[in-house]
Structure 1
Amino acid sequence: MDIAALIEDNDECVFLDFKREEYHDSNKPEMIKDVLAFANAGYTHERYIIIGIKKDHEGLTVNPVEQPQDSAAIQQYIHENITPELSVSYISYSYQGQNIMVLVISDTNEQPYYPKKQLNRGNGPFLRPNEFWIRKGSRNVAGIREDLEKVYARRYAQTTLEGKIDLTFKNGRQSIELPILETLELPSEQHKAEIIKNLNHRQHIYENHGRIYIEKYGHYSPDEDGDSYEAMDINTLKERLANVERNYHDENHYHIFEEHGVKLQLTIANNGKEHLKDAMIEMVFPVTTGFYITDRVPLTTYQLSVATGIDYQAGYPKVKVQYEQIRVSHQIGEIRHKVPTEVFTKPLRLAALEVMRGADLKVQATIYAANLPNPQSFELTISFK
């Protein structure tokens, strides 16, 4: 998985943790505990401890790792202290032009994993042989008998989901034909035309009937006369004209994507014999001239200005443009078997211009899940008519 996307699109969870700085001699046993917890988690793909990143409700901060510890030494320390042997790697990664480190834990097929020997921290024991730690959500916790039973059940159960997951558009196929945007008159263009009409009229009166202009428009006040272009003086109209694109940016966005664009939805069919757990989708669209996906639910200026208590963006997919690709990801959650499930809580908003007419767009989509041994990949096709 792309590390930048991993950082930006996910919070700490069952497969991801952020550390502000490297583990050092005084807290290396903490690294063993973290690795153990991730290795025992109920998740089937790679797990990541990303070092040099702080991420919380206040945002994301990069704390670069200037002189990282030797990768081989980190791997050796883990191998010496965890049983059975665990596959790990310790790699550097350039994020926002700064070096961070990524500890990758993979091939966790021999659960449960335990400390190989006692590890001390300070003046006392920190980890003891056969202690069982497990990652649950964003926390490392001491496992209980029920957790251990689930580990063995996962280890010896034969999966019923491999090759049983299907992804389609709502039409039931992996291809779909979508309309392009016909010629649209944007709200900003409508207001621009109205402003110019009134400005020309006002300038004509000013140049030919100065007294009438002063009597009628010389005392314009927004508080008293409102936002009617018919009441505005020349200076106000010129100011409105200069700022019309900015003033109606939200309305343009709403007009394109919400009123005239496409609301794209997909469906997952789980044809296995168990629920798909903690499912996530990642879609990759090529960056293409004339094709656009909005990264938020479009709102009008009025909706943005009024405090309704409604989170309009909740449930909308995450959209990022990276490396000539538009990456769309969404946490789906549990998918029941034999019940078709819509992928997005709120459909993805997209729009295509005339230049896309007759074009085919290939989209790569991947489904991840806690109990899906291998991510399931699909190629979808969008045609524009």
Structure 2
Amino acid sequence: MKVGIIGAGQLGRMMALAGYPLGLEFEMLDPNPRACGGQVAPLTVAAFDDREALAALASRVDLVTFEFENVPVAAMEFLAGQVEVFPRPPVLETAQDRLREKECFRQLAIPTPDYRPVESRAELEAAVAELGLPAVLKTRRFGYDGKGQFILRQPGDLEPAWAALGGAPLILEAFVPFGREVSLVAARSRAGGMVFYPLAENIHRDGILRLSQACSADPMQALAEEYTRRVLEHFAYVGVMAFEFFQVADGLVANEIAPRVHNSGHWTIEGSETSQFANHLRAILGWPLGSPELLGQVAMLNFIGELPAVPALLGEPHLHVHAYGKSPAPGRKVGHATLCLPPAADLPGALRLLLPRVNLPALLD
């Protein structure tokens, strides 16, 4: 079996690395000739909407998936007319638009922040008057890792926010006074079977994930699974999906879904019985899903901008290093490491010792 992957970043790279032990082959398509997935699989360099290149890829593979959600929906619909595509394009269309996404959550009785669509400066002022401050102004499309967002804390913030983001369709969301950010990674098979990984608690800096800790027997696990199940069933979803939540005093508030393998699930490579990447492939191929069982205590550290000295990290016990083969650049995800400890170990203590060694000293303060 050969799987085509639209996008050839680190997620596609890790997907292929998970699939080779299963006897699979891969081919990727990406406009970047230096995309790191091209180090592990044949790479077609073409625009995501290049129909000639897409048709050629479809003719060489058995099915197609994607590794990030900003692929043009029209391109995936074109591919779906020639080869099986999972996840199916409708969920991509919803996930690409924050307003559609929020409306979907409301339809499924999943709590969200209060929100208003914003198309003009006058609508922004009206939305702020209704929702109050603080609030978060976001572009409806193409926002990730903190991009396309502006926090409004006082009336004087409206002018710079509009100058930065105006001109594109926007959404204003009421600020959520959350206790922590969590995410649930789940897989749904072609036959409808589902597995849910343990909830992960996430810490961000500058809008980018820096640390995820897998949570054993988390009190929010069942509620997160219920909300995620509603979305998976609504779309007859096939593959891995991540659902990000804010935890508040009385439960969970939906932030967003990612219809793909997810950064907050990288810990599953060493930290669970079956990785999110392997389960994504199993799901889209119609194979049995693997156990998501947590193996001990696990945390994942993101390396942003540049890698720490890898040889020094290799001397750290229980630490598994992943370098993506990407050149350093501000804000770029260039690698991660997973700390896997026995069930009775002191994970917070181990992280406090480790974090200063990888230039992340204040994440647990």
Higher CA-based Rg: 1
Higher relative CO (Cα under 8 Å, sequence separation at least 6) belongs to: 1
- Compute the TM-score of the two structures, normalised by the length of structure 2: 0.25
Which of the two has greater strand per residue?
A: 1
